[in-house]
Structure 1
Amino acid sequence: MRKSTKYLLSMGELKKKDNSLVFKNERGHTYIPIESVREIYCLNEISLNSKLFHFLSNAGVIVHFFNYYQQYSGTFYPKEQLVSGKLTVMQAKLFETKRLDVAKSIVNGIAKNIHYVLYHYYKHGKTDLKPYLDWLKKEVPKLLKKEISIKQILFIEGEIWRNFYGTFHLFLPESFVMNKRVRRPPDNPINALISFGNTILYSKTLSQIYRTHLNQTISYLHEPGESRFSLSLDLCEVFKPIIVFKTIFETVNNRKLQVGKHFDKDLNYALLNEAGRKVFIEALEERLSSVILHPRLKRKVTLETAIRLDAYKLINLKYS
C-alpha cells in the first residue's frame, strides 16, 4: 500500500483503534489504516494521548503540529533509525571547509527556479519582468562567483526574494496585492498563503531529511541554531518557487482560491479558513506529486522525491 500524507483540518481527537487510527470530530468517525500513513499534519486543535504516540512511533509516522495562525509549532519525530555519527562529523567538517560553496549553490538554485517560474509570465506578455529575469540569469551568478562572505550571500538572497515579491502585481489580481512580506502573523491573503505554503514545505523537507542519515541541525546558508532544524530551512529554500509559489499563482489566477470565500473575514482575510486550506493543500499535494526529469540522474522523479535527492547530494559531497 502506497503511504501518503494525512491532513487533519478540523478540531477533533485522534486515537488508536485496534491496528488502525480513528479521527473523531463533530462530523463523525474517520478510520485511517496505519499502513497507509507516512506523516500527519495537525492543522487545528487535535487531542492525542501517549498510547497513540507509541503506536505512531512503532509505525514510523511523523506528526507535524501547527498553531492557530497556521504557523509551524513542532514535530513528533519517531526514534531515529538512520543515525550516523561518522556522517555527522563529516557534515560538521563540510560546514567548516565548504560552507560558502554550499550556500552559494542554494542561492543560485533559488535564482534559477524563480527565473523558471516567472519566465512563464514573461512569455505570455508580461514584458516588464525582463530586467529582473536578466538580473537573475546574468548578474546573480556573477555575484556568487566572487569571493564573498556568508553575510553577503544572505544579502543577495534577500534581494532576490524582495525583487520577486515586487513582481506579483504584474500577474496576480488586485485582491492578492502584497505591499510587503509580513510573517508573524500574516496581514493579508497573499502573506497568509506564502506563510502557510512555506511552513508546509518546511515540514515536508523535515520528513524527507528524516529518511536520510543527515543531522537536521547542521546547515550552511542559515546559521545553525538551537531549537530549530536549520538544514530543512536550507533545502526547502530552493523548492519554494517551483512548489509553493507556483501553487499560489495557479490557485489564485485560476480562481480556485478567492478572498471572500476562502479566507477568514473576522481576521481581515489574513488567514485561510478550512475550505481554503483544503483547496490549497490539494493543489500543493498535486504539485508535490508532479513528475520532473531529474537533471543529474536523467530519470523522472516527483518533486517531493527531488527534495530528498538534494539531501543525498550533501551526503555525496561529504564523502567525495
Structure 2
Amino acid sequence: MKKLLNTVYITTEGAALRKDGENLVADVDGVERARVPFHMLGSLVVFGAVYVSPALIGACARSGITLVLLERNGRFLARVEGPVTGNVLLRRAQYKSSDEPEDIVRSIIIGKIANQRAVLMRSLRDYRDEFAPPVLERVVHVTDRLARLVRRVEKSEDTLDQLRGSEGEAANLYFSVFDHLIRSPDAEICWQGRSRRPPLDPLNALLSFLYTLLTHDCRSACESVGLDPAVGFLHRDRPGRPSLALDLMEELRPVLVDRLALSLVNRRQLRAGDFEVRDGGAVVLKEDARKTVLTAWQERKKEERQHAFLGEKAPLGLVPYLQAQMLARHLRGDLDAYPPWFWK
C-alpha cells in the first residue's frame, strides 16, 4: 500500500525554498525555519509569492515530488512534475471507457449521493434536539429523497445526461438544507448557495480552499496508478482541466471537505474575522486561518475508516489512492464494476 507521505504547505509570503543535500529547506528573512528530507516528502504546495530555487525544482522532479503553485487565496496556478509515467494499456482502456462511461458514472454518483446523505444523517444525530420542528422535518425529508435517488440511480439504465441530471438534483437537495447544519454564532457565516470564481462569502471561501487541496490529492492519486488525470467520465474533457481527478473527488467531497468545513465553523475554530473581503467582493481566508485549515486538513487525513469493499481500515488520506486503484483494476477488467467509497 502507498505510504502516506507528507505534503508540505508553504503559506508565508516572502519565504525562500532551497535544496540542501537531500533536504528541502525553508528560509524566512534569511533564517532557516524548516527542513524536510526528500524521502519523507510526497508533494510541496506553495501559496502566494514564495521563491523556489531552480535546484529544488529539479530535485523535486527527479524524486517524484510534485510542486503545486497556488495564489494566496488558494486558486490553482501551476503544477510542476517530472516525466509522465503510466501504463499505456491502462490509459488506452481509460480512453475507450470514456466513450461509454455510464457504468462508472453511475457508481460515482451513487457514492456521492450516499455520502451527502451520510453527512445530513450525522448532523441529525448531533443536532436533532436543536432543530426547530419545521427544520427537522425538512432535513429528514431531504435524507429520504436522497435515499430514493440512490436507489433510482442504482437500478436505472439512464443515459449520461440523465445521470448528470440526477447528480444535479441530489446536489440541489443537499445544499437546500446546508445552512441548517451551521452552528456558528457569526451571522456572516451562513449558506446562501454555492458561489465560485470568486467565492462571495466565508463558507464558500472555505469550501473552495479545501476543494483545491482535495483536487490536488485526487490528481496525484490518478497519476500514481498510471491513469490520465485529464480524461474523465462524469466531467467533460476541457483543456487544462483534470477531469478524472474531479470525478474521483465527487464521492469524497461530502465527507473530506463539507464535513470538515462544518466542523471548523461549528467548533468556532474559524470565525468571521478569519476572512477578508477583497476588491470586487471576493472573500478569502486570512493567513493564520489558512494555517488552521491546513492543520485540520492534515489531521483529518490521518483518521481511519473502514473501506466497505476492501474490508480494511485505511487513513482518509489514502482513500483517493485506493479509489484510483479500484478504478484502474476495473478498467483492466479485474473488477466487474468500479466500487464507490462509502462513509461509515
Whether these two folds match at TM > 0.5 is: yes
Partner of residue 24 from structure 1, selected from 18, 23, 27: 27
Partner of residue 148 from structure 2, selected from 120, 125, 138: 138
Is contact 2:4-2:317 (8 Å) kept?
Answer: no
Moved over 4 A (4+): 265-269
Is contact 1:144-1:153 (8 Å) kept?
Answer: no
Matched, 1:147 2:157: yes
Instruction: Rate the CA distance shift 1:273–1:223 in 2: closer, same or farther, 3 A.
Output: same
Is contact 2:98-2:233 (8 Å) kept?
Answer: yes
Structure 1 window deviating more from structure 2 (1-10 vs 132-141): it is 1-10
Map 1:72-151; keep pairs closer than 5 Å.
Answer: 72-81=76-85, 83-97=86-100, 99-123=101-125, 124-125=127-128, 126=131, 127=136, 128-143=138-153, 145-151=155-161
Shift of 1:27: 7.7
Instruction: Rate the CA distance shift 1:91–1:269 in 2: closer, same or farther, 3 A.
Output: closer
Instruction: Rate the CA distance shift 1:143–1:209 in 2: closer, same or farther, 3 A.
Output: closer
Is contact 1:42-1:64 (8 Å) kept?
Answer: yes
Shift of 1:138: 1.5
Residue equivalent to 1:284 = 297
Output the TM-score relative to the length of structure 1: 0.93
Residue equivalent to 2:223 = 210
Shift of 1:248: 0.4
Name the one with the larger helix percent: 1
Output the TM-score relative to the length of structure 2: 0.87
Letter in 2 for 1:55: A
Identity between Structure 1 and Structure 2 (%): 24
Partner of residue 230 from structure 1, selected from 220, 231, 243: 243
Q: Secondary structure at the match of 1:151?
A: helix
Residue equivalent to 1:264 = 276
Q: Secondary structure at the match of 2:48?
A: coil
Q: Deviations over 1:137-182 (max 9, x none)?
A: 1234314533322222222212222222221221213331122211
Cα distance between partner residues in 2 of 1:166 and 1:315 = 35
Shift of 1:13: 1.6
Q: Secondary structure at the match of 1:271?
A: strand
Shift of 1:226: 1.8
Residue equivalent to 2:336 = none
Is contact 1:183-1:191 (8 Å) kept?
Answer: yes
Residue equivalent to 2:266 = 253
Cα distance between partner residues in 1 of 2:39 and 2:154 = 46
Which consecutive unaligned segments of at least 5 residues does structure 2 have? 334-344
Q: Secondary structure at the match of 1:176?
A: coil
Letter in 2 for 1:33: P
Cα distance between partner residues in 1 of 2:75 and 2:278 = 18
Instruction: Rate the CA distance shift 1:119–1:302 in 2: closer, same or farther, 3 A.
Output: same
Letter in 2 for 1:72: F
Map 1:179-198; keep pairs closer than 5 Å.
Answer: 179-198=192-211
Is contact 1:41-1:63 (8 Å) kept?
Answer: yes
Shift of 1:264: 2.1
Structure 1 window deviating more from structure 2 (1-10 vs 210-219): it is 1-10
Q: Secondary structure at the match of 2:8?
A: strand
For this pair of structures, how many residues does the alignment match? 317
Which consecutive unaligned segments of at least 5 residues does structure 1 have? none
Shift of 1:266: 5.5
Is contact 2:106-2:153 (8 Å) kept?
Answer: no
Cα distance between partner residues in 2 of 1:5 and 1:58 = 17
Cα distance between partner residues in 2 of 1:265 and 1:296 = 44
Is contact 2:60-2:81 (8 Å) kept?
Answer: no
Letter in 1 for 2:178: F
Cα distance between partner residues in 1 of 2:331 and 2:40 = 34
Residue equivalent to 1:302 = 315
Cα distance between partner residues in 2 of 1:266 and 1:182 = 15
Cα distance between partner residues in 2 of 1:309 and 1:265 = 38
